[in-house]
Structure 1
Amino acid sequence: MASFERRGKNSWRLVLSLGFGPNRKRMKQYQSLVIEDPALQQSISALDEIDPNILKSANNLNRFIESKEATSTAIRHAKKLNQHFQDEYLKFKYQAETGSLVRVKKIKFADFVEIWREKYGSDPEKLSPATYSNYNIVINSRLIPAFGHFWIDEITPLMILSFLKDLEKPGARLTPKMSGTLTERQKEKLMKPLDVGTIGYIYRVLKNILNRAVEWKLLAENPMNGIPKPGEKDPKRKLLEQRENPQFYDEAEAQRVVDALYKESRKWRLLILGSMIGGARRGELNGLEWPYVHFDEGYISIENNIPLSKHGKAVEKGPKSIASYRNIDMPKWYMDELRAYKDEWNHEKEQLEAEGLWQGGDRQYVFHNGTGKPYYYQHPSKWWKRFCERHGIRYIKFHGLRHSSGTLLLEDEDESNFDSILKVIQQRLGHSRFSTTSDVYVHVTKKVKRRAAGKYDKFARGNATIPKGDNGDKLGTQIFGKDHFESSENNLPLQ
């Protein structure tokens, strides 16, 4: 018979007796049970209205079932709950006897997060500094307020589903920390639902933390198993948005970008082209130093990465992956201009040192903030957005410049060369897998699409010869023009 003790409105503790220990004390094992089924919760409410003590223990529930004073409806509710307790108790007993039961040390979610930070999150081998920083934003702003006060083993799938559903509702956005009052535009944005991508990122962080709890034997199973990652609600709308504003430039747009860059300083022109022509990541350009610029050989080496700034200081780490350590061949005109910029850079450094304003020490960041130190990691992206606004250029994210690099290499290539060119693009962009290059980053441009459509020109019927019919009439040749095919009387299926 199941043994249990009530702990809350819809929660109980199953009690498994393990006999007596060496000191003749009774040994017991416990497991929490939370009832989330709405039908069972209805039965709980019905019995609580009769007497809250009925469900206090297994003995009380059995006495009620055997009593002759209860109504048939109440007995039905009691038997339904009793069967549920029996089923859960037998599963608990089986796990304990077979050794598959994880003994859970009671720990609250907020306390476990601190363990996760120490043993996992802060380890750069597990998470990059930038990712860890973003995870902490989600943890502090979303996860701790929602789950921090719960025992980690009491977090249920239904609780997580409700949490994710609430994130989809209007008003789920957090009020920004700022001095002064919000503008009308900010107030309007606050009332919009969170982006699906943001909800998906929150889902990812929570699942990562709970996965560690399973690995470290604090949970028998991740309560997020079986809960799908929030997906795009309207894939058709997303597709239309991608078509209206693709995150890359074709050749004509790239030419307009270059023209506009020649109205800006040489430093920013070279930085932006380092991504659009060279395919370098933002953090790789932030971390680029002169010793890794090889003028005579015509390439730059990617050996450093600044993906994050913390407390005003750059966080440096190696490139994203082994494949990201690479040499990027650059056109001669770019290297010539980079050489001219180095002369300007040296002159600026001498002036700063003379005025006691140089803060770069022995480091030689190619694109520094005017004092020798690297730019704040997001600064290039912010400059790029203002640049697009100044010059009336269609805005794409800074990362889209990398997409453009691959696209521009493909644009004038014959389809028969695509595989070899994709391999070159993979190496230039520093992708670990060829599939990333072919499936994600490189897009088929307008020129390629037009060439593909042109393959079907041989099926055109601009000059159609009509053979002699079965009855011998209509001999000779008849020329069909546009008017013929568009005439309603000739709107028949082609045979």
Structure 2
Amino acid sequence: MASYQKRGLRSWLLVVETGADSDKFRDKETKTIRVPEELLKTPKKLEQHLDEELLKFKIEVETGVFFKADNMKFSDFVPEWKKKFAEKHLEETSQGNYLFHLEKRILPYFGHMLMQKIKPLHIETYLDDLSQSEKEKHQKSTGEKLGSATLVYNYRVLRSVFTKAKEWKIIKENPLDGVKKPKEEQKEVEVYGEEEVSLILRLLEPEPVLFKSLIILAITTAMRRGELLGLEWKHVDFENGIININQSIPKYKNGQPVIKGPKNKGSRRKVAIPQIALETLREFERQWKKDHFNSEDTWLGGSYRFLFSNENGMPFYPKTIGDKWRSFHKRNSEHGLKYIRFHDLRHTSATLLINEGVHPKIISNRLGHSKIGTTMNVYGHVIDSADKTAAEKFQGLFTDKTKTDVSTHSKVVDELLTDC
């Protein structure tokens, strides 16, 4: 049974009975709505509007879509947030990271609490506890001080959850509005210098051409790992020496690669490659065709022709690339090459270009950043250092010129005095 009753000038209470409990009292769900003021002047339209709202509410209750905000726990809301927001709007990798922090840290802390009862002080206490506990665990296992990334990421996840809760009228106030975002320490990226890159190129000589191509492209194009995995032969323009970056494989899901479009509007781009990369890719293409033609594995790649794939056509798992890079470094440890992550080859590429005086806008385009501000934020310290080097060059230029002018002037004066 469903009904509605007037509660105020423009508000009505919708009531839907859901059954009877053991004491013969009727269980029911209620919802208060406000109607547009213009409907109050037309009784027939008002009645029609209320009937429609009541019917929608009845369907929500009977199908389980309706949830009562007053009694909703944090653990009950998260699945709604995941289904209605995260799975629809978050990029695959971000979605996985958000859920990881929710399940590992946030849900065990807030899960039992009512959404309406969570206040800014609860958030502050959580972040303080997290900061202390994570630092202790990290220091115990590594002896190093924990960075701010975990703290900031947890704040970001909570902000997303509670922002949606407020938009969906589950809560009246967002408790994050009263909490200052934790200060994020700008961590300097680990990169290779020119001499180290030259060493890597020498060490790559005896390596299989597939791996050689992977590392050379990572250094010379600054492509992301997922972009390298999504690269197909049709994206390589040999005639013009250009790589067309159109898709990415950030992860596997249910045993299949997740093939996605560009990360942002700047990620779909064309990147020019140097001659060494072009020559290596030509060699790689010949070897790739030979390997796949002679392979006895069943082709599983469909219409795709990924560069960095198994002989069955399936692209490598993202983790595989990191594993191959670590193995290469371990095999060559006697050369004294420091270890950096595979992703840091992207940073290396950007840093080398900055130090060569390439315009930040061009570097930003090669990196696939949608805004040059992102490039400036990540590589600001490198740009500052390069700027100081540029100033020193000017100083050297003018100093040398001044010395030359003074020397020449002195010589002329000496000659004139001698003539006299």
TM-score (normalised: structure 2): 0.72
**Partner SS, residue 101 of structure 2:** helix
Partner of residue 183, structure 2: 231
Q: Which residue is equivalent to 1:455?
A: 394
1:212 is aligned, of 148, 164, 168, to 164
Structure-2 separation of matches of 1:366 and 1:259: 22
1:117 aligns with 2:62: no
Deviations 1:409-438 (A, max 9, x none): 23333xxxx5xx222222222221122233
Counterpart for residue 154 of structure 1: 117
Counterpart of 1:53? none
Paired positions, count: 337
- What residue number does 2:342 align with? 398
Q: Contact 2:297/2:311 (CA < 8 Å) preserved in 1? A: no
1:128 paired residue number? 91
Distance 1:222 1:338 in 2: 53
Amino acid at match of 1:260: L
Q: CA deviation at 1:191?
A: 8.7
Aligned to 1:407: 351
Counterpart of 1:468? none
Unmatched 5+ residue regions in structure 2?
1-5, 14-33, 35-67, 407-420
Between stretches 325-334 and 276-285, larger displacement belongs to 325-334
**CA distances 1:295-342 after superposition (whole Å, capped 9, x unpaired):** 112111111101122233221111111211111111233212211111
CA distance in 2, matches of 1:190, 1:396: 17
Amino acid at match of 2:176: M
Distance 1:317 1:271, change over 3 A: same
1:430 alignment partner in structure 2: 368
Go from structure 1 to structure 2 and tell me whether the alpha carbon gap of 1:193 and 1:256 turns closer, same or farther (over 3 Å shift). Answer: closer
Going from structure 1 to structure 2, the CA distance change for 1:247 and 1:163 (only over 3 Å counts) comes to same
Partner of 1:364: 305
Alignment counterpart, residue 222 of structure 1, candidates 169, 174, 177: 174
Q: Which runs of 5+ in 1 are unaligned?
A: 1-19, 28-95, 97-102, 175-185, 466-495
Aligned residue in 2 for 1:16: none
Aligned to 1:483: none
Letter in 2 for 1:137: F
The within-5 A match list for 1:343-358 is 343-352=286-295, 355-358=296-299
Q: Deviations over 1:33-57 (max 9, x none)?
A: xxxxxxxxxxxxxxxxxxxxxxxxx
- The question of 1:107 aligning with 2:59 is answered no
How far does residue 269 in structure 1 lie from its aligned partner after superposition? 1.4
Q: Provide the rounded CA distance (Å) in 2 between the counterparts of 1:301 and 1:155.
A: 48
Q: CA deviation at 1:195?
A: 3.5
Matched, 1:298 2:241: yes
Name the structure 1 match of 2:320: 379
Partner residue in 2 for 1:197: 149
Aligned to 1:93: none
Distance in 1, Cα, partners of 2:153 & 2:248: 23
**Letter of the aligned partner of 2:347 in structure 1?**
H
Mapped pair 1:258 → 2:201: yes
Measure how far apart 1:152 and its partner are. Answer: 0.6
User: What is the aligned-residue RMSD (CA, Å)?
Assistant: 3.1
The 2-side partners of 1:430 and 1:257 are apart by 25
Conserved 8 A contact 1:285-1:305: yes
| Contact kept in structure 1, 2:194 and 2:352, CA below 8 Å | yes
Asked whether the 8 Å contact 1:171–1:192 carries over to 2, the reply is no
Using the TM superposition, give the Cα deviation of residue 377 of structure 1 relative to its aligned residue in structure 2, in angstroms. 1.5
Cα contact 2:220–2:277 (8 A) shared by 1: no
Correspondent of 2:230 among 287, 291, 304: 287
* Residue-by-residue CA offset, 1:46-69 (whole Å, 9 max, x unaligned): xxxxxxxxxxxxxxxxxxxxxxxx
> For 1:314, which of 234, 241, 257 is the aligned residue?
257
Identity %: 34
Write the distance in 2 (CA, Å) between the matches of 1:450 and 1:440: 19
1:145 is aligned to 2:108: yes
Which residue of the partner structure matches residue 28 of structure 2? none
Between 404-413 and 437-446, report the one with greater CA deviation: 437-446
Over 3 Å counting, the alpha-carbon distance change for 1:455 and 1:215 in structure 2 is: same
Larger Rg: 1
1:114 Cα deviation from its structure 2 partner: 0.8
- Whether 1:163 and 2:139 are equivalent positions in the alignment is no
Structure 1 residue aligned with 2:44: none
SS in structure 2 at match of 1:270: helix
Match of 1:441 among 364, 374, 379: 379
Contact in 2 for aligned 1:314/1:377 (Cα 8 Å): no
Structure 1 counterpart SS, 2:132? coil
Name 2:416's counterpart in structure 1.
none
Superposed CA offset, 1:351-391 (max 9, x none): 22xx2343323321101134321111232223223333332
Evaluate the alpha carbon distance shift between residue 261 and residue 112 of structure 1 in structure 2; reply closer, same or farther with a 3 A threshold. same
Structure with the bigger RCO (C-alpha within 8 Å, sep 6+) is: 2
Matched to 2:158, the amino acid is L
Cα offsets for 1:178-215 (capped at 9, x unmatched): xxxxxxxx994189775421121111111110111011
SS of equivalent to 2:251: strand
Amino acid at match of 1:211: T
Report which of the two has the higher share of helix: 2
Pair 1:140–1:172, CA change in 2 (3 A): farther
Quickly say closer, same or farther: Cα 1:334–1:229, change in 2 above 3 A: same
Shift in CA distance, 330/433, structure 1 to aligned 2, threshold 3 Å: same
Tell me by how many angstroms 1:270 deviates. Answer: 1.0
The 3-state SS of whatever aligns with 1:373 is coil
- The one-letter amino acid of 1:356's match is D
